[in-house]
Amino acid sequence: MKTIFISIPKGIIARNILQTNVFRILKAQKDLRIVLIFPATPDDFLKKELGAENVIIEEWRGKVKAGILRHFILYPFMRNLVYTETSRQFLRWGSKISQPQDTPIRYFFGSLFFGPLSKIKFLKRFCRWLDFKFFAAYDKEYESLFDKYQPSLVFVSHLLDSPIDMVLVRIARRRSIPSVGMVKSWDNLDKRLLTVLPDTFLVWNEKMRDDLVQLQDVNPKDIIITGFPQFDLYRDSRIFLTRKEYCRQMGIDPAKKIIFFGSQWGFIYDDEIVEILHQFIADQLLKKDCVILVRPHFEEYLLKTGRFNRFKNYPYAVLDRKERTSTCFGGWNPSIEDVRHLANNLYHCDILVTSCSTLSIDGAVFDKPIINVAFDGLRERPRRYSYVRAYKYTHYKPVINSGGVKLVYNQKELLNAINQYLENPSLDSHGRERLRRRICYKLDGKAGQRIAEAILERL
């Protein structure tokens, strides 16, 4: 019997891997033992969901050590060897829109320094070699898992930010064990340099493949395009409720058009956008009767901000239900019911209003009119606190350039866009088709299968 390691450091990974055909297909292999590596003790519901004779759960507690030279010198230098408009924004304002930093000096010298250096491929390879060669001692305490299970393959899925995943790949390489890797989302590869590379890299679309080759210095022969595993469920017609049943569950009049508002984490004026939408309806400015379905970002519930709670009592708004969290991940861990519920929200809505968000791609899968808000709520904010700058991020440019989303820069444009889509839902459908082709790769319900087959082939 062969053994594979699968690292699950975050709830979004659990959704992408454990709630899809990736895990189902792997678990069905009778001659395969799966060791799932979690950052803490899994919740009882997780153990029940994942339970099988050939599935073993291990915990990887504690902080992965890096050392002073590595942590404060090598890694900060390496991260900046990917230089894009995204990294330029990070240098200037920091990576968290909700907690901006005003650092013009760092931006000036960082741009002057890392712009040219990022084009030197040898430098990226040399830094990775240094990391692998001279800091092996910090990985030794984690080799006990390899001694215990003697894995035949290591599969990791959060290589950008998960120290656990980086350690697993490095140890696998030292022991000549094949490794397969991913990043957790389509928007990761243009942000900073990956410190370690697996033998085989799985990506979701051509854009990610291009980023790996051009920005991360990965050999194209080592890359496999699979599609988005979490989108497979969207092709299963059995999960969709009838309009009548869905509206009954949500407390919505089925005769009304549904404006689905999806909050984005870090965009701290999102609740003001809902206020604007609600006022449109109250003032009878929309050309059809509408209701707003408000879906707070899952981090809103985790941090208990309460920003959206007031909409429970608004006559033209419905607050979406809370999604499942997990103590294991210290955050979001959606159940299969949560994933199906989101699919029904998208399936039954008439217009999707969101911001610079992956939710725009979800909406395009269902060919729904998509409006991206590019203004800061009820009043203009200083540039430092404006989230409009997120639309400059490199990964989102193909979404905008596809013509599949409509950017609105003020309340008047938002109102006009909603009314245009209410009258003609097929408007911009060709742009949404371009968006699907460019970002989604294949929407055939087989992305999870392709990921599982790629892993099994490398055994």
pLDDT per residue as tens digits for the range 38-56: 988 888 888 888 888 999 9
Beta strands in 204-304 (DSSP E): 223-225, 257-262, 290-295
pLDDT at 97 exceeding the cut of 90: no
Mean pLDDT of the chain: 92
* Averaged pLDDT, 369-383: 89
Query: Are the folds of 2-63+142-228+445-457 and 233-440 the same?
Result: yes
Residue 62: pLDDT over 80: no
For residue 211, give every residue at least 6 positions away whose Cβ sits within 8 Å of its Cβ, in sequence order, or none: 189, 190
Contact between 2 and 31 under an 8 Å Cβ cutoff? The reply is: yes
Residue carrying the six token digits 């890797």: 181
Q: What is the pLDDT of residue 141?
A: 83
What is the model's pLDDT at position 52?
Answer: 85
Task: Give the confidence band of 99 by pLDDT, cuts at 50, 70, 90.
Answer: low
The whole-angstrom separation of Cα 210 and Cα 189 is 10
C-alpha to C-alpha distance for 222 and 198, rounded to whole angstroms: 9
Mean pLDDT check: name the lowest of 107-111, 298-302, 358-362, 384-388.
298-302
Amino acid found at 420? Q
HSE-up (13 A, CA, CB side) for residue 346? 25
Residue 60 CB: number of other CB atoms within 10 A?
Answer: 18
* Domain parsing of the chain, residue ranges: 2-63+142-228+445-457, 68-117, 233-440
Q: Report the pLDDT value the prediction gives residue 301, as an integer from 0 to 100.
A: 60
| pLDDT higher at 104 or 136 | 136
> How does DSSP classify residue 220?
G
Tokens 């460019």 appear where? Answer: 438
Q: Tokens for 259?
A: 């404006």
**DSSP conformation letters of 152-176:** SEEEES-TTT-HHHHHHHHHHHHTT
> Is 64:164 a contact under the CB 8 Å cutoff?
yes
Q: Cα dihedral sign for 212, 213, 219, 221?
A: positive
For 412-433, write each residue's pLDDT tens digit: 999 999 999 999 999 999 999 9
CATH code for residues 233-440: 3.40.50.2000
Superfamily of domain 2-63+142-228+445-457: Glycogen Phosphorylase B; (3.40.50.2000)
Residue 353 in contact with residue 342, Cβ under 8 Å?
Answer: no
Q: What is the mean pLDDT of residues 143-169?
A: 95
Buried b (16+ CB within 10 A) or exposed e, 210-240: ebbeebbbbeeeebbbbbbbbbbbbeeeebb
